[in-house]
Every structure is written in structure tokens, then in C-alpha cells.
Chains A and B, each alone.
Chain A
Amino acid sequence: MGSTSWNLIRGYTILVYLFMFTPIIVVMLLSFNSSQFGSFPMEGVSFRWFVELWNNDAITRAFRISLALGALTALLSSTFGVLASLALVRYDFPGKQSLSTLLIAPILVPEVVLAVALLLFLRWLEVHKSFFLLLLGHVIFTLPFVILVVQARLVGIRREYEEAAQSLGASPIQTFFQITLPLLLPAVFAGFLFAFTISFDDITGTLFWKPGGIETVPTQIFAMLRNSISPEINALGTVMIIVTVALPLLGAAIARRFGSASSE
């Protein structure tokens, strides 16, 4: 291929990335703008909107709810995900294939469909919307990610480790905590972070499932946008971006430390 075609490809790629990231960068830049109106040119740099964010009760409440929801979702998803993966990888039982498909299905079905379906199902059961229902929805939705990551790792852990541990006198449960779980930990950790960030970011399902009076950060932003475009939203967006980008990076770094510590 000639150098002109390479240059074309290079230019095209740069344009694609610009198109994707410019809005994000604009939001982050404008969040430091001191002016009331979110537009260029920026008048000065200030943390004013972050301070206002901090003092906005609705937003801090939404933030706390999102954190709690994300953490609980991640905890439940990784627990169930590990158990489901163990069953799917280590044991044979009738209907294994169907169960596997069923557990992965939530990422194949459009989120809106899943959201409406769960809502209708619970209405049919005459269960009212609640924080618990919201949590349940998030767990169903994030479980496939945990299962996929954990399953992949579990397949790579040879059964001999577990067999050796048991031959030495460890019961199956002791074997799980002494051998399987420690070897699985990087994947469990990755799954946990996945579940957290997905839950923290989610808006579609949350809009359907959340009970009145409860707002998560994404639904709060959504609600604020309906009234006016306040620079506070830029600041909130910046915080969201930092949280969702920094967490996985931090997780990867910790996982690397774990990995190198055991192989050094």
C-alpha cells in the first residue's frame, strides 16, 4: 500500500477519535469555566461548579445512592457470578447449556426490553417498585459480565490443583477458599469492577425500575437536563468520567500487583 493511503487511514482514524472524544473533553473543560453560561471562550478557571455540586443536596444524595447501588450490585453479582461459573465449569447437570445461555442472555437482549419485561413481570406479581427491585435489575444486568470473565479464568485453572488439595485433606469448601478462590481472584476483582461501573453508569434500566424519590447520578443528570443546562452538569459529568475511568485503571493496576506477587 502506498504512503498516501496510509496517510488517509491515519487521518480518518484521528477524525473518528476526535469525533468521539471532543464532546467529553469539552464537557470536562467547561466544568472549570467560571461563567454562568457553558460556552467558549472560557472566561476563567474555577472550581465553582464543583463546590456547588458538593453543596447540592439532591446531587450528593444521588451520588451516595449510586455508590451504594453500584457496590451492592457488584458484591451480589460477583458472588452469584462465581457460584454460577463454578457450577457451569466444574459440574455436569441436565440443562447446563440452557442455563448458561439464560445467564448470558441479559447482554444479548436490548436493555429497554429487559427493563420493561422485568417491570411488567413484577407488576404481574403485584410487587411494588423498591430499591431492592432496582438492585435486582442491576444484578441481572451485570451478572453476565462477571460470569464471562470468571468462567474464562476458571477454565484455565487446572482441576489438579483442587484434586491435589483434596488429596492432602482439604474438604471441598476448604479447597475453594484455599485454592480456587485465590487463583480466581483477579477475575473476580475484574468482574466486580465491571459490575460496579456498569451499574454506576446505567440509565435505561434505572429509569424504569427506580421507585419514586430515588435518583441515581445518571437519572439526576437526566432530570436536571430537562429544566436547564447548568454548568453544574458539566462538573457532575467530569466527576462521573473520572470515577468510571479511574476505577478500572486502578483495578487493573491492583490485579497486576497481585499477579506479579504470586509469580515472582
Chain B
Amino acid sequence: MADKVAVKLDGIVKRFGGFVAVYEMNLEIREGEFVTFLGPSGCGKTTTLRMVAGLLDPSNGDILVHDKRVNDLPIHKRNLGLVFQNYALFPHKSIFDNVAFGLKYRDVSKEELKKRVTDALELVQLPHTADRYPAQLSGGQQQRVALARAIVIQPEVLLLDEPLSALDANLRENMRVELKRIQDQLGITTIFVTHDQAEALAMSDRIVVMSDGRVEQVGSPQEVYTSPSSLFVAQFLGNSNILSGRLDSKNGALSVYVDGLDSIQVDPKQLKDFRDGDSVALVIRAEKLTLGEAKQDEDHATQLTGHVDAVDYQGQAARYFVTAGGHSLQAFNQIDQQPVKEGTDVHIRIRARDCVLLEPEA
């Protein structure tokens, strides 16, 4: 992957009257990178995408595409590919004319236009639909055509605004793979907006987690998932147990004292800027809590005793709702033979390296 910067957001801010939709946002997207803006609705992700697209003007800051400031460039001169949640295929034009639409405003000969449209339709695996109309295609097919229409113009950046949200679950997963394949094949710089963490984790090179108009964390899917940098990120991605406690560091060992529980051992690398005695939030992913019937002796792990209140059986795995020392915890474990039964007492194992320390909520 080249290290050239394709898109640069330089301190962009968006205000709607007194409401701030996006606080000062800085981001560099490299050539060919697949970057996802992830967050709940109203977090500013779509607003940011629309600013890059040229559908909204930033109140402050600059947007650069390939080192060129595009703030004052109207949308039709930006050469970006845009795909919407609701496809937005032109209902009165055939599939061929839909895909060819952008090429009509470019210097392209008739033969080349035909070839490029045909190639684009082949790339999205819909070569025989050229003569049909959008209403004759299924939702998934329409979204593929919308993608073909956006990439046929060879845009500098591909902008995808929740393109999979209108599709049903099975189709969505197929389209996810398909979309990633096409993006890889073309090596096109892509900004993808979604509220679906599974999509973000599966497809992105980097994820930008946003909340209330602010960037919470930027990182690879793995970084964002395993080392969340804020409580918001920890709660938004996956199922996390969050316990508040007090830090206790003695002779190189690190542990957190939580009311009602024993001290929980934590990897010393988690110390970061914390000091002995600080209040901290201890984050443990539900799948990292292991339930067992017998106590196993192990270093760098904490054993707690708890009681299974409820079991959410899911076939290959189960989600357990456990109480330990007055705290409600969630554990998500693969099932070996039998799930742990409701109402039984269990031992809960927590490995030190699975614990993440974060600032407690103000």
C-alpha cells in the first residue's frame, strides 16, 4: 500500500446553528485504504462523509483530496463515487444508462463508454442487466449497480453511506465480502459509513469510532476491539464488562481492587499514566470471562466465584448472566459438551492480559 495521502481532514468542524455536529476532526486517509466511520446515529459520521462529498460545507477547517483543497469545489467537480443506503438509481433510466450517466460528463468516446459500462457491470457480476430498469432488480442487485455506477467514473475516493443497511441479513454478509473484494481489486481509497460494528470490523483497514461529533479512537479493527481507548469504544464494540475499582501496584504486580470481589490481576503494561490508588474502570470482554466448574490453579489469572442467573443458549456458544460479589457480569463462552446450567455456582477465570484499564467515567 502506498503511503501517499489520498484524503486529509484538517480540523474540520460542522455547526448547524448552535448545534455542533462535528467537532474539530483531523484524519489522514492513505491511498487505497478502506476507512470506516463507525458510530451510533447522530455521531456525525454521515455529516463528515457529506462534507467530503461536497454535499455539506464545513464550518471550519479544510478538506484535501490528493493535496488539493476541495472546500470550494462543488460536488459535480470533485470526481468522487457516492453510494447511498437507498441505492438512488435513476428509476427512469435503464441499468446501462444509469451506469453510463457519469461517463457522459467526461471525455469518453462511445466505444469506450460501452466497454467501461460493460466491464463495470461484469465486475459487480450483473452483466446481463443492462437493458433492464431499476425496479426490475432486487435490492442487492440495485446496490451492485449503484456501486458500478460509482466506480465506472474512476473516482479519486469512493464514499459509501451505509450501503448495506437496507439489505436483509444474509444478503448483507454476502455483499460485505463482495464489496471488499471489489475494493481490493480496484485498490480504490474508500470511506465507509456504518453503525454496524460487524461490518466495520470485517471490512476496514482502519476504523474511526465516533460519538457525539467527536473521534473516540482511530485504529485497526483489532486495535479498536482489543484495546479500546475509551469507555464508549469498549461499550460500543462487542459486549464488555466494566467494573470500577482502585489501582493497586506492589512490587511490579498490578491489580485492581473492586468492591465485593477479590483483587483482579492486570497486566503491568496496562499501567500507562495511572498511579497507585487511582480510580480506574476495568474492562473485560464477555468472551474473555471463562466459566468453569472446578478451580484451576494458574498464574496471571484471577478466579472469582459466582452464580449463573440466566443462560442465553445460541447453539455453538452461550451467553451467561452471572452475579459475582454483587456485580452483574456477562460471559460469552463456546460450548464444549453442555452449557453451564442456570442456577449453578461457578468459578470465573479472568486472565490478566485480557483486562484493559481506562479512565473512569467523569
Contacts and interface: CB of A to CB of B under 8 A. Distances in A.
Interface of A: 158, 160-161, 163-172, 174-175, 178-179, 182-183, 262-264
A263 B82 contact: no
Contacts of B91: 183, 262-263
A165 B101 contact: yes
Nearest to A264: B133
Contacts of B79: 169
B82 A169 contact: no
Contacts of B110: none
Contact of A169 (B84, B105, B136): B105
B105 A161 contact: no
Interface residues of B, number: 29
Contacts of A174: 105
Which has the most chain B C-beta neighbours within 10 Å: A174, A183, A263?
A: A263
B291 to A, nearest CB: 48
A179 B90 contact: yes
Given A169-B79, A263-B135, A264-B133, A160 B86 contact: yes
Given A165-B90, A167-B78, A183-B91, 6 more contacts: A160-B84, A164-B82, A167-B80, A168-B105, A168-B150, A175-B76
What are the 3 A-B residue pairs with the smallest beta carbon separation, nearest first?
Answer: A168-B102, A169-B105, A160-B88
Nearest to A263: B135
Contacts of A166: 74-76
Contacts of A169: 76-77, 79, 102, 105-106, 153
A237 to B, nearest CB: 41
A262 B89 CA distance: 12
B82 A262 contact: no
B76 A158 contact: no
A93 to B, nearest CB: 16
B53 interface: yes
B52 to A, nearest CB: 11
A142 to B, nearest CB: 27
B81 interface: yes
Nearest to B97: A178
Contacts of A163: 53, 55, 75, 82, 84, 88
20 contacts: A163-B75, A164-B84, A164-B88, A167-B82, A168-B101, A168-B105, A169-B77, A169-B102, A169-B106, A170-B76, A170-B101, A170-B105, A171-B74, A171-B76, A174-B105, A179-B90, A183-B91, A262-B92, A264-B133, A264-B136
Interface in B54-99: 54-55, 74-82, 84, 86, 88, 90-92
B149 interface: yes
A174 B101 CA distance: 11
B215 to A, nearest CB: 25
Nearest to A258: B92
Contact of B88 (A161, A172, A182, A262): A161
Contact of A182 (B53, B55, B84, B92): B92
A256 to B, nearest CB: 15
Contacts of A182: 92
Nearest to B152: A168
Which has the most chain B C-beta neighbours within 10 Å: A160, A161, A165?
A: A160
Which has the most chain A C-beta neighbours within 10 Å: B54, B105, B146, B150?
A: B105
Nearest to B79: A169
Contact of B133 (A158, A165, A262): A262
B89 to A, nearest CB: 8
A161 B89 CA distance: 7
Contacts of B86: 158, 160
A158 B102 CA distance: 19
B88 A168 contact: no
A228 B153 CA distance: 73
B80 to A, nearest CB: 6
B298 to A, nearest CB: 56
A39 B91 CA distance: 56
B35 to A, nearest CB: 18
A165 B101 CA distance: 8
A220 B146 CA distance: 58
B106 A183 contact: no
Contacts of B82: 163-164, 167
A182 B133 CA distance: 15
Which has the most chain A C-beta neighbours within 10 Å: B74, B77, B82, B136?
A: B82
Nearest to B86: A160
Contacts of B55: 163
A263 B84 contact: no
A161 B76 contact: no
Contacts of A158: 86, 88
